[in-house]
Amino acid sequence: MISKQHIINRFIKYVTIDTESDPNNPAFPSTTKQWDLAKVLVDELKEIGMQDVDLDNNCYIMATLPSNLDYEVPTIGFVAHIDTSPDFTGKGVKPQIIENYDGKDIVLNKEQNIILSPSYFDDLLQYKGQTIITTDGTTLLGADDKAGITEIVSAMEYLIQHPEIKHGTIRICFTPDEEVGKGAHLFDVKKFGAKWAYTMDGSQIGELEYENFNAAGAKVTITGKIVHPGYAKGKMINSMLIANEFIASLPLNEVPEKTEGYEGFFHLHDMNGNVENTVLEYIIRDHDLELFKGRKQLIQQTAINLNKKYNQEIIKVEIKDQYFNMKEKITPVMHIVDIAEEVMKDLGITPLIKAIRGGTDGSQLSYKGLPCPNIFAGGHNFHGRFEYVPVESILKATEVIIGIAKKVSEK
């Protein structure tokens, strides 16, 4: 059995290294501190006995666990990311370990009255009696995706220490900048050399995902005219008011806080403006490709309509595709999902096969020729002060990796 304390120690070591990425820096990686964890991982992978350990100039770590079979099976891979979200600080993480969780409120920070409560986060009740790792309420935890890294490293270590467990060649990779959408951009699929892979980057225990949003970003720039307000009649064009018209012209119920499942949305995530110039930043999401195209067209048509209303081009729209639904690339090789599902069932885990309301490195990797479904890493409430992860979920995810390695060797 894998030692629970060993898993805790490894996870704590990773999350206390700050690896927050930066969406505004075009450099690769976007923050130099991602190298801090990368170098620790390189040393650790060599120490546990992994082969071909390589850290490239772009902060991608790859390594190999050689096959111990006397026959050939497909080379498979496991992928996780080293960066944490810039949505909430990852500096100075102080994890708290809650043994034998009693199902009641968890006081994260007494001084600031920050409480993780099952009355609001009812998923907590699934883990009564388990060991839960939380934040101290002032930072995120970083289980996204340091739980995934912990699981992959621990599974490789276990397989090395137990050569009686048969497996083919396994490749692993830890990527930078996933949280800012660049994690797969410089991923060398040919160098990785796997037939398929799994990202260990999901949330609650049992998640198994091979569908995700089609995604785009839209920048809407509104240009007004500034005139002294005392002489403004018929002359001033207030870009902020026109921005308000633009926002109100989109479907008011098709926003993240009012949608679920396969429902798409328009998400206004940033707005900055004055009378003369206002910029709206949207993300556009939909699982269905035709509906996704329709959403992009609606953004463009809304600008056209308002430009006609004001009889001049005061609104400009730039839309950039970000990633696409990996279902198209996974469906032809559904056996790779079936393998993960079988392993979960063998381990007594109920598979939660659902669509991701977001994206992972796996979606981009699938389009680069590496089919890559997503498996749970165990954490909850990512990107914020209420993030937590049950240690038992990390252990189960580690067992899933080991189980997949064994299952592939039997095919």
Which of the following is catalytic: 178, 209, 387, 399? 178
Classified as helix, coil or strand, 370 is coil
Nearest C-alpha neighbor of 137 from the set 118, 109, 96, 168: 109
Contact in structure between 322 and 359 (CB atoms under 8 Å):
yes
Q: Which residue has the tokens 């949330």?
A: 203
Q: Rounded distance, CA 192 to CA 194, Å?
A: 6
End-to-end CA distance of the chain: 25
> Is residue 83 annotated as a catalytic residue, yes or no?
yes
Q: At what angle do helices 391-410 and 335-346 cross, to 10 degrees?
A: 120
Residues forming beta bridges with residue 285, ordered by sequence position: 215, 265
φ, ψ of residue 238 in degrees (nearest 5): -90, 105
Structural contact between residues 204 and 352, judged by C-beta atoms closer than 8 angstroms: yes
CB 171 within 8 A of CB 405: no
Enter the tokens of residue 357. 């309301």
**Token reading at 65:** 């666990």
Nearest CA among 153, 203, 310 for reference residue 246: 310
Joined together, the tokens standing for residue 187 give 């991923």
3-state secondary structure of 108: strand
Choosing from 18, 83, 177, 211, the catalytic residue is 83
Residue 151 phi, psi dihedral angles, 5° rounding: -65, -45
SS3 for 200? Answer: strand
Q: Which helix (H) or strand (E) holds 135?
A: none
Between the alpha carbon of residue 81 and those of residues 265, 373, 390, the distances in Å are 26, 15, 19
Helix (H, G, I), strand (E, B) or coil at 75: coil
Residue 177: Cβ-neighbour burial (10 angstroms; 0-12, 13-18, 19+): buried
Q: In whole angstroms, what separates CA 290 from the centre of its chain?
A: 24
Active site residues: 83, 178
